[in-house]
Structure 1
Amino acid sequence: MAELAKYNIAFKGLAQGVHQFEYQIDKKFFDFFAGGIAEDGNVLVKVELEKQSAIMVLWFHISGTVKVQCDRCLDWYDQPIKSENQLFIKYGEESFEEGDDVIWVSPNDHQINVGKLIYDFIILSIPIKQVHPDDENGHSLCNPDMLEKLNQLSGPADKVEHPSDSRWDDLKKLLENE
């Protein structure tokens, strides 16, 4: 956990108002969270903390690139990401369910670690479908050898006709009458 200590924000001594923090995310950060979909990256994270008397609001401004594996050709590529996220921190002895964007901290706590939050927001900003982008001519930047192999193994593109089940023929006639 010592690797994530630089992501601690000590809010106890901060005056009310807006405070800014900046983090440069690289491979060392992603290595701490091994096993995720991103293994490397160059991401700039700007965190704004607005401290009020009874609540704190965190804004995460994330932009950069992460190295992910292409779903089509399995080569690694740099995926651009950008996201804006907001999180509320409330004080209380016990936590209450109020949604995914609220964190409860004890009044005795003096800092919060935003490392895991940054990682989660980076991962959430990666598109579900991870495929190499096309070049300026509209051609895929995927590995051409892998694309050729996929075309060979995919079989004929013709639609296979399934024999009709006679039990459903009468019902199909009803649909045709509409």
Structure 2
Amino acid sequence: MAYLNAYNIALKGLAIGKHDFDYQVGKQFFEYFDGEIAGDGRVEVKLELEKRSALIVLWFHVKGTVNIQCDRCLDLFDQPIESQNKVFVKYGEEKFEDGDDVIWIAPDETHINVAKLIYDFIILSIPIKHVHPDDARGESLCNPEMLERLNFLSVKQESEEESPETDSRWDELKKLLGNK
């Protein structure tokens, strides 16, 4: 838990106005959060905090690379990421459901820890499909041995000549669609 103290922002004594914070996220950060999706990375986070009288606005600018596993060949690769996110921090005794971009804290709270927010924004900026990018020639950078093995084990689809004869009851409907 002491590691995450670096991500604490003291709210008491913070003047009204804009304040900038910079964070460098690496392997130890990802390991703290289990590193389930990304086990390592080099990410720079620029946090712009604007303190107002009734609320605080946090702008997160995330840019870097995370080391993730390819869905196709299972090798690790560095995925570039970049995102910008805004979070509102409101003061109140009770917590209300205002959406995903609002955090409620008690008026007597002395600090806010932004580590979990940073981790969430990094993970959310990773594309859903995790595959190696193509090189300059348009060829996949995936492990060639694994791609060969996948091609060998993939199910071959029957060509139209080999497929059984189609049901004639559908022919009139296919004409309506312009398929035949």
TM-score normalised to the size of structure 1?
A: 0.91
Q: In 1, Cα distance between the equivalents of 2:105 and 2:38?
A: 29
Q: In 2, Cα distance between the equivalents of 1:81 and 1:57?
A: 23
Say yes or no: does 1:26 pair with 2:26: yes
Instruction: Give unmatched runs, 5+ long, in structure 1.
Output: none
CA deviation profile, 1:139-166 (whole Å, cap 9, x unmatched):
11000000000000003243584786x7
What letter corresponds to residue 78 of structure 2 in structure 1? D
Q: In 2, Cα distance between the equivalents of 1:176 and 1:147?
A: 37
Q: In 1, Cα distance between the equivalents of 2:85 and 2:158?
A: 46
Report the identity percentage. Answer: 61
Q: What pairs up with 1:70-81 in 2 under 5 angstroms?
A: 70-81=70-81
Q: In 2, Cα distance between the equivalents of 1:112 and 1:144?
A: 47
| Number of the residue aligned with 2:133 | 133
Q: In 2, Cα distance between the equivalents of 1:145 and 1:176?
A: 42
- SS at 2:147 equivalent: helix
| Number of the residue aligned with 2:144 | 144
Q: In 1, Cα distance between the equivalents of 2:113 and 2:37?
A: 22
Q: What pairs up with 1:73-92 in 2 under 5 angstroms?
A: 73-92=73-92
Q: Aligned pairs, how many? A: 174
With over 3 angstroms needed to count, the CA separation of the structure-2 counterparts of 1:26 and 1:57, relative to structure 1, is same
CA deviation profile, 1:48-100 (whole Å, cap 9, x unmatched):
10000001000000000000000000000000000000000000000111111
RMSD: 1.7
With over 3 angstroms needed to count, the CA separation of the structure-2 counterparts of 1:176 and 1:42, relative to structure 1, is closer
What letter corresponds to residue 129 of structure 1 in structure 2? K
Q: In 1, Cα distance between the equivalents of 2:5 and 2:139?
A: 44
CA deviation profile, 1:107-156 (whole Å, cap 9, x unmatched):
01011000000000000000000100111111110000000000000032
Q: In 2, Cα distance between the equivalents of 1:110 and 1:78?
A: 37
Q: What pairs up with 1:18-167 in 2 under 5 angstroms?
A: 18-159=18-159, 161=163
Instruction: Give unmatched runs, 5+ long, in structure 2.
Output: none
